[in-house]
């Protein structure tokens, strides 16, 4: 007997969630899953999302499917991890960016993604603890985080990359740099940067092209810093030279499994905004600690 749980965020993505839930239920029933073994949850907050996933995992639900964006998926992953890891994560991409799904090769087509839940295989992937939060894809501060704060969910759904370019132009004109102390398990350094990016895989914001050696299960994250940039060139590489972003000349990078980031300047207005997996996450300091092979995801067989 296999039990499924659907955790639905009605606010994220573009799809009609009610129709999608019925499509998934119908598919599972056709695969001989009893209707009583298909549970549905509609959390009203981030805390509820994580708690519902945790309770489902503790209740030995076999597969938990989050219907929402990467922020929702992150919360469900956190719940599975805190619940002991019995449940496997099943991904049906319904968000705007779908970064984790793309990094794992999950089909964006709903029917194909559903089929892969039965034909695929389990893959243990890394997560990271960031102070009292979790990360599955990326952490940004500086230019990219400031840009994202200026983009509303509605404009992101309507205009996609163009919404970030419009917001980024205004942010870029500030020409602000941040001074950060970075203390990792490898070294301690002081960094002056316009942007700091921590990635868990080769895919960021749904786009590949950073370090192709980065994988979701290598026990390391990669830290990128950007000392100077040219606005048009930066966006050209990020949005249009897909797969070539690592060729942008002004990156410095290193890998670590633990990292503490501290704002060197004491004035709060100079303390950079932090975003984790696209969601607002406050300001520095933060402590990032890798959780190797923390949960298991169902992925297509290669």
Question: For residues 68 and 187, what is the distance between their CA atoms, to the nearest angstrom?
Answer: 37
Tell me which residue of 282, 280, 290 sits closest to 256, measured CA to CA. Answer: 290
Residues 68 and 103 in one domain: yes
Residues 142 and 61 in one domain: no
Amino acid 154: pLDDT: 65
Residues 108 and 153 in one domain: no
Residues 79 and 166 in one domain: no
Residue 129 lies in a domain: no
Show the CA angle centred on residue 128, arms to residues 146 and 260, nearest 5°: 65
Range of the domain at 55: 4-119
Task: Return the structure tokens found at 194.
Answer: 């316009």
Residue 208 lies in a domain: yes
The domain that holds 198 is classified in CATH as 2.60.200.40
User: SS3 of 80, please?
Assistant: helix
Amino acid 1: pLDDT: 76
Residues 61 and 152 in one domain: no
Tell me which residue of 167, 164, 171, 166 sits closest to 206, measured CA to CA. Answer: 164
C-beta atoms surrounding 67 within 10 Å? 26
Amino acid 181: pLDDT: 94
Q: Which residues neighbour 51 within 8 Å (Cβ) at sequence distance 6 or greater?
A: 43, 79
Residues 107 and 147 in one domain: no
Residue 35 lies in a domain: yes
Q: Residue 300 in contact with residue 116, Cβ under 8 Å?
A: yes
Residues 84 and 148 in one domain: no
Q: Residue 78 in contact with residue 50, Cβ under 8 Å?
A: yes
- Give 272's DSSP letter: P
Q: Residue 4 in contact with residue 65, Cβ under 8 Å?
A: yes
Q: Given 84, 119, 154, which residue is the final one in a domain?
A: 119
Amino acid 228: pLDDT: 65
Count of structural domains within the chain: 2
Residue 166 lies in a domain: yes
Residue 301 lies in a domain: no
Question: For residues 105 and 113, what is the distance between their CA atoms, to the nearest angstrom?
Answer: 10
Amino acid 225: pLDDT: 85
The pTM assigned to this predicted structure is 0.86
Residues 279 and 142 in one domain: yes
Residues 49 and 89 in one domain: yes
Residue 105 lies in a domain: yes
Residue 128 lies in a domain: no
- H helix and E strand count, the chain: 9, 18
pLDDT in tens, the chain (302 residues): 799 999 999 876 556 789 999 999 999 999 999 999 999 999 999 999 999 999 999 999 999 999 998 889 999 999 999 999 999 999 999 877 888 999 999 999 999 999 999 999 999 999 999 999 999 999 988 766 666 655 566 665 665 555 555 555 555 555 678 889 999 988 899 998 878 889 998 877 666 666 667 889 999 999 988 766 655 555 555 554 544 555 656 678 899 999 999 999 766 667 888 989 878 888 899 999 999 999 999 999 98
Residues 148 and 283 in one domain: yes
């Amino acid at each position: 007997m296999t039990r499924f749980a659907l955790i639905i965020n009605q606010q994220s993505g573009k799809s009609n969630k009610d129709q999608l839930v019925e499509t998934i239920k119908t598919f599972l029933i056709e695969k001989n899953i009893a209707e009583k073994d298909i549970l549905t949850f509609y959390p009203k907050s981030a805390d509820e999302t994580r708690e519902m996933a945790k309770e489902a995992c503790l209740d030995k639900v076999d597969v938990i499917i989050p219907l929402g964006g990467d922020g929702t998926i992150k919360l469900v992953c956190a719940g599975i991890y805190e619940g002991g890891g019995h449940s496997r994560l099943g991904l049906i991409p319904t968000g705007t960016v779908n970064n984790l799904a793309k990094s794992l090769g999950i089909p964006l087509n709903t029917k194909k993604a559903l089929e892969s839940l039965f034909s695929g295989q389990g893959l243990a992937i890394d997560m990271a603890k960031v102070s009292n939060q979790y990360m599955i894809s990326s952490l940004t501060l500086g230019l990219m985080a400031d840009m994202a704060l200026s983009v509303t969910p509605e404009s992101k759904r309507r205009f996609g990359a163009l919404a970030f370019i419009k917001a980024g132009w205004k942010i870029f004109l500030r020409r602000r740099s941040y001074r950060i102390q970075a203390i990792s398990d490898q070294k301690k350094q002081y960094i002056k940067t316009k942007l700091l990016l921590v990635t868990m895989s080769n895919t960021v914001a749904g786009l590949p092209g950073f370090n192709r050696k980065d994988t979701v299960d290598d026990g390391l994250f990669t830290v990128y810093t950007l000392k100077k940039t040219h606005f048009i060139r930066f966006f050209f590489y990020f949005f249009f030279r897909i797969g070539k972003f690592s060729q942008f000349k002004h990156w410095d990078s290193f890998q670590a499994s633990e990292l503490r980031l501290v704002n060197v300047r004491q004035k709060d207005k100079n303390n950079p905004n932090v975003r984790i997996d696209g969601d607002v996450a406050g300001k520095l300091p933060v402590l990032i600690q890798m959780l190797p092979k923390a949960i298991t995801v169902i992925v297509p067989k290669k």
